[in-house]
Amino acid sequence: MSSWLFLDTVYIAIIVAIVAIVLYRVIKQLLDGKKLLRDEWNQKHFALTDKLDRAEEEFAAGDGTILKSFVYRSKLSPGGPESAERLPGPAILFYHGFGGFAQNVHFEPMLAMLAMAGYTVFAYDFRWSGHSRIKGQGGPLQGVIVEGPDLFGKFIKDGEVAIDWVLSHENLVDPDRLAIVGFSMGGTIALSDSVINNPRVKAIVAGCAMFDVGETLHYLFTHRGMIMMIVAPFILSIIKRHTGLSSTQVFARASELSPSHSVKEGEGLPDLATSRLFLAHCKDDEIVNFSINFPKSKAFFQVPDENCVVFETGGHEFKTDTLVLAGWILTKLRAVL
């Protein structure tokens, strides 16, 4: 009898330990996220120099949601005192990733660098994200829990409206010289039908983009360690309580909103891919798995090798590779714009 009690005690201890680890990871991530927001909103990751400026703006999405936005310019941007190029000039619209925001520590330095390289750079915080969050919104994960995968569809529609917002700056932007750079969810938006087949967009760079959001979510929930496998059912159960969608329906709906479903394969893609579509990814990406996303996007959109860059390491955010990636992006955009 005592042996059974011993085993029960061991099992309970294991369960308690697992729960404690999960709670620790969740709480740590929340606290780290808040610190990241504070640091970046206080411009701790922005290059403070009189040669660079970041102006705050906002624009209304299709449903009236107000999205906070930013315009990066420098003395080297078109029309600047140290630029030989007159206005209007080339512009870049940046789409950040899910869970991130325009001033993400890994990519805002790149936005500033692109402005110093002679572009006017536009960025905005997605709904439920960064400065665009309204009272009661805890972040994009809460947004998915409340709205389900349809939130991804709203991200895509907002991305299209953002193009209108950029081009409304007629004094700054040459309508024939607009490029889009997006990472993670932002890269997925860049590959959506409403963006990739938009004739106003002359170049697209998609980094660590999801080819099929549903497939990526399923892989993330079932293959990314014990903690994720424990947490995922709870997340899916909460989504079902709010939206009525089963886990299968969540993944299916997410797939419907993906480039794999929204773009017609082969329809006008060869010319687009060879002239203005560029892909980047890291092989050790643990969020948007390289093997189930990059090869499929490359084949589907018929992107040639010279329009792709793959890093062996760097994870999901191109850590240590950001400067090299930025140099590659500049080279490709200058050839197109």
- The whole-number pLDDT of residue 260 equals 87
List phi, psi (to 5°) of 243: -110, -20
pLDDT at 141: 85
Q: Which residues of 278-292 are buried (b: 16+ CB within 10 A; e: fewer)?
A: bbbbbeebebbbbeb
What would the mean pLDDT of 133-142 be, rounded to a whole number? Answer: 86
Give the tokens for residue 17. Answer: 């330990």
Q: How far apart are CA 101 and CA 124, in angstroms?
A: 7
CB atoms within 10 A of CB 326: 19
Q: Cβ distance 13 to 76 under 8 Å?
A: no
The helix or strand, by DSSP H or E, that contains position 161, with its residue range, turns out to be helix 150-167
The pLDDT of residue 135: 85
pLDDT of residue 271: 65
Amino acid identity of residue 140, one-letter, is P
Q: What's the pLDDT band for 107 if we cut at 50, 70, 90?
A: confident
- Taking only the tens place, the pLDDT of each residue in 150-160 is 999 999 999 99
Convert the pLDDT of each residue in 6-24 to its tens digit. 545 655 666 566 656 656 6
Q: What is the pLDDT of residue 304?
A: 92
Residue 93, pLDDT > 60, answer yes
CB 209 within 8 Å of CB 260: no
Of 99 and 335, the structure prediction assigns the larger pLDDT to 335
Average pLDDT, the chain: 87
* Element containing residue 13 per DSSP (H, E): helix 2-41
Q: How far apart are CA 36 and CA 186, in angstroms?
A: 19
**What confidence score (pLDDT) does residue 1 get?**
46
> Which pairing describes strands 173-183 and 120-124: parallel, antiparallel, or unpaired?
unpaired
Q: Provide the whole-model pTM.
A: 0.86
Residue 283 has pLDDT above 50, yes or no: yes
pLDDT tens for 215-251 read 999 998 887 766 677 778 888 888 999 999 999 999 9
Residues 273, 304: contact at Cβ < 8 Å?
A: yes
SS3 261: helix
Residue-wise pLDDT tens digits, 289-304:
999 999 999 999 889 9
Tell me how many degrees the CA angle 4-10-16 measures, rounded to the nearest 5. 135
Which residue matches tokens 């940046």?
94
pLDDT of residue 101: 81
Residue 182 host element (H or E): strand 173-183
Distance (Å) of CA 234 to CA 18, 24, 30, 146 = 15, 16, 17, 14
**SS3 at position 149:** coil
